[in-house]
Structure 1
Amino acid sequence: MHNNEDVAVSRRWSELVELLHDRVDTLAGKFITQVREIPEYRESAVDTDEIMLTARETFHRLVNALRSGGSRPGGELDGEFSAALGAKRARSGIPAEALISAVRLDFTILWAELLAIADPADAPMLTSRVDQVWRVVDEFAARTNASYLNERVRMAQEESSIQNEFIARLFSVVNPSAETAAQVADALGVSVDARFGLVAASGSAAALLRTAQGKAATRRNQRLFLRESGDMAYVFWPVPASRAGDDKAVIFTVPQVFADIPCGVAEANGLRGLPKAARTASSLAALLQPADTGPLSANQAWPRLAKRQLAEAGLDLVEEIDAALEPCRGAERERLTEAARHFLQSGSVALTAEGLFCHRNTVLNRLNRFQELTGIDLTVPNQVARLVVAWA
């Protein structure tokens, strides 16, 4: 008796599945209606006719899987179909979450149709079969999603390779042509005339730059591009433009991911200015000192740059100042240089006196003595610049 009941249940299930097979076009039509309620599909460029054909083929294969009673939809042929579908949706720019939502509509539509064509007496049988329907759809969804993700990785690698090729072309010359800059702008998806920030580092700091750029690249709101040349690593990014009606200029800031990395930093007006900015940033990176714990800009390091250039020309300002202070006796030299350094920081006798815990007349006397020995008047900018560079 029990066997007869099992045979009857199986026969009835087969009847319902055959009815589903005859309604593939109806299932596909319902899918079209519901999938267009997903914003990413509604706003995508995927043609409705193409979605209809894909939906019809999908339901045909899912119903065939239910027909055979297996959990692997359609065998190897279906594996090819789900792989093609996942790759196709990836190339269409459909987000992963939207794709999964669309594929899972298959279960909702299949199950709703089964309930619609079944009799009340079929309820126990349907309850026992819900897991089978879910497994079939879930397996199809998993295969489609795996193919989608693989295609996205492949697309990202291709895009990165293409971008690296154009970036290398941009940095290969001192002054890129307007045509080259326009091509690079198209490849990177940026404005050719935008402002750009650029950081540069070598050695262990370069490794930190690469890691930070890689992490930031996964965030859609952050566009950071990597350029490597020998031991140097460069990362550049477009600086956001000011909003319409905003008269305030956008203040250039280094992305937070680089805030704790010792590196040189520079700006460029337009893509064509990036090679020059790279040279500036790499020069600044070469001036980094152990005490530097973050990006070093030209505004901060111009005295170091000037000191290095003068040294390369054979002029040692430190040696000159040391020789001028040679007549100092005892602690006089320390007091004079201390007063001069404090005054350089503020340009104020009062603040210098406050910082040194002494009377302002004492500060004036020390500054006058310093001028007497070195010939440098700390109130004359042209002369002060020599001292700033020497002590950089």
Structure 2
Amino acid sequence: MTQLLAPVDPSKSVLQRIAGALKVDMSADFLVAVCSRDDSLPVKRRFALKSRKNDKVFTYDQGHHTRVIKWRRQGVAPELEFDDVSLFEGAAAAVALLSAGSANVRPAVLAAREIMSDLPMGCTGIFTLGDRWQSIVRHRMAQLGCDPGQLVHPLLRRCTDAERERLLEMAVVYLRTGSLVNAAVELHCHRNTIVNRLESFQRHTGLDLRPPADASVVLLALR
């Protein structure tokens, strides 16, 4: 496990030796998760009690986290099974749902660790990249001095307080619904009012909420 999760990606020959030692197929799929060391003991106990006879589950403690790597049976959907969910009950777990082949286990562990590090203190449940990508990307960009909020909020200071509030409210609702009609219903206004606010938002910020590229930038900015 130390070789598999080393800072440098293992070569193909090393992966073959690791797969032989662990008695797993190099091309198999793996469920990869990370949990806190504080939660690792009950999680390990559940794995020991609930795992099927032929299941292969590996755990590896490193720093404040415990890595969990579970071989997935062929034909199993990439989504978490009920048995997988129950293993982490009461704990916070970051899951990189599926690693296709042993060569992808290390990147999956890195992704799960990044998700785990992004979680608020005291939370419980299972979290995936789909749940946390906005927060992770925004924090990473801000660490590099590239805060996406600077692409929106300073430019809206030219608006009146009331107009800025309306535009931000519209942006939040429109990005959540993806629909002019649904946004208008939720904000109790006419569809054309949403269109006018979209145009006003673009006029002030240069960002159009309808194309995915601009929409993703504003999603991050509004975090």
| TM-score relative to the length of structure 1 | 0.51
Q: Which residue of 1 aligns with 2:169?
A: 338
Retained in 2: the 8 A contact 1:210–1:233?
A: no
**3-state DSSP class of the match of 1:372?**
helix
Change (3 A) 1:291 1:382: farther
Q: Quote how far apart the aligned CAs of 1:343 are.
A: 0.8
**Could you say which structure has the greater relative contact order, defined with CA pairs below 8 angstroms and 6 or more residues apart?**
2
Change (3 A) 1:287 1:345: same
**3-state DSSP class of the match of 1:227?**
strand
Q: Distance in 1 between matches of 2:121 and 2:158?
A: 33
Retained in 1: the 8 A contact 2:37–2:61?
A: no
The RMSD of aligned alpha carbons is 2.4
Q: Which residue of 2 aligns with 1:287?
A: 118
Q: Quote how far apart the aligned CAs of 1:260 are.
A: 4.9
Specify which of 178, 199, 215 is matched with residue 12 of structure 2. Answer: 178
Question: Which segments of 5 or more consecutive residues in structure 1 lack a partner in the other structure?
Answer: 1-166, 243-248
Specify which of 237, 250, 254 is matched with residue 77 of structure 2. Answer: 250
Q: Based on CA coordinates, which of the two structures has the bigger radius of gyration?
A: 1
Q: Deviations over 1:297-329 (max 9, x none)?
A: 223322223222322321122133111111232
Change (3 A) 1:293 1:312: same
Specify which of 77, 94, 108 is matched with residue 264 of structure 1. Answer: 94
Amino-acid identity (%): 27
Please state which structure has a larger fraction of its residues in strand. 2
Q: Deviations over 1:102-138 (max 9, x none)?
A: xxxxxxxxxxxxxxxxxxxxxxxxxxxxxxxxxxxxx
Change (3 A) 1:290 1:346: farther
Q: Quote how far apart the aligned CAs of 1:291 are.
A: 8.8
Change (3 A) 1:294 1:219: closer
Change (3 A) 1:302 1:174: same
Q: Distance in 1 between matches of 2:5 and 2:47?
A: 22
Question: Which segments of 5 or more consecutive residues in structure 2 lack a partner in the other structure?
Answer: none
Q: Quote how far apart the aligned CAs of 1:235 are.
A: 0.8
Please state which structure has a larger fraction of its residues in helix. 1
Specify which of 61, 64, 87 is matched with residue 228 of structure 1. Answer: 61
Q: Quote how far apart the aligned CAs of 1:168 are.
A: 2.2
Specify which of 211, 232, 240 is matched with residue 73 of structure 2. Answer: 240
Retained in 2: the 8 A contact 1:198–1:234?
A: yes
Structure 1 residue runs of 4+, over 4 Å off? none
Retained in 1: the 8 A contact 2:151–2:221?
A: no
- For residue 71 of structure 2, what is the amino acid of its counterpart? P
Q: Given the alignment of the two structures, is residue 314 of structure 1 paired with residue 145 of structure 2, yes or no?
A: yes
| TM-score relative to the length of structure 2 | 0.85
Q: Which residue of 2 aligns with 1:357?
A: 188
Q: Deviations over 1:23-68 (max 9, x none)?
A: xxxxxxxxxxxxxxxxxxxxxxxxxxxxxxxxxxxxxxxxxxxxxx
Q: Quote how far apart the aligned CAs of 1:175 are.
A: 1.6
Q: Which residue of 2 aligns with 1:114?
A: none
**3-state DSSP class of the match of 2:113?**
helix
